[in-house]
């Protein structure tokens, strides 16, 4: 991305289609933290894309939206430290609703320096 990153989460950085989520799930590498399943797959573009899933098992809509906001904030703050050219799907697990931003950043640290090479 050649422009300066602002306080946004632009559409080109999002995984939006079910087909794309399924592709990441089926062909991606899996990581697991205490509160998240993380799936990473090589993408078609130069930048990375993020998709977040939070089911009703996490909590009500307020809790689900809050955890998604926290994950997006981590992504926005750490964009330059994440691998480039990848699609990242993050699935919140039970208990994720009680996390704060510092907890999310600690758990997502597994993505920094991550490579798709085995």
Round to whole Å and give the CA distance between 101 and 84: 23
Domain segments of the chain as ranges: 11-110
Determine the topology of domain 11-110 in CATH. Ribosomal Protein S5; domain 2 (3.30.230)
- 60 vs 86: CA distance, rounded Å: 30
Q: What is the pLDDT tens value at each position of the chain, 118 positions in all?
A: 445 556 677 788 899 999 999 999 999 999 999 999 999 999 887 888 999 999 999 999 999 999 999 999 999 888 888 888 899 999 999 999 999 999 999 999 888 777 776 4
Q: What is the pTM of this model?
A: 0.87
Question: Cβ(114)–Cβ(40) under 8 Å?
Answer: yes
State the Cα–Cα distance between residues 31 and 35, nearest whole angstrom: 11
Distance from C-alpha of 10 to C-alpha of 12, rounded to nearest angstrom: 6
User: What Rg, from alpha-carbon coordinates, does the chain have?
Assistant: 13
What are the tens digits of pLDDT across the range 75-97? Answer: 988 888 888 889 999 999 999 99
């Amino acid at each position: 991305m050649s422009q300066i990153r602002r306080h946004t989460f632009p559409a080109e950085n999002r995984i939006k289609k079910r087909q794309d989520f399924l592709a990441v799930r089926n062909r991606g590498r899996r990581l697991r933290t205490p509160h998240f399943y993380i799936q990473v797959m090589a993408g078609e573009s130069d930048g990375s894309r993020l998709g977040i899933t939070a089911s009703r098992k996490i909590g009500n809509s307020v809790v689900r939206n809050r955890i998604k906001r926290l994950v997006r904030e981590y992504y926005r703050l750490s964009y330059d430290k994440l691998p480039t050219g990848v699609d990242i799907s993050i699935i919140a697990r039970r208990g994720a609703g009680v996390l704060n931003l510092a907890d999310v950043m600690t758990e997502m640290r597994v993505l920094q320096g991550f490579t798709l090479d085995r």
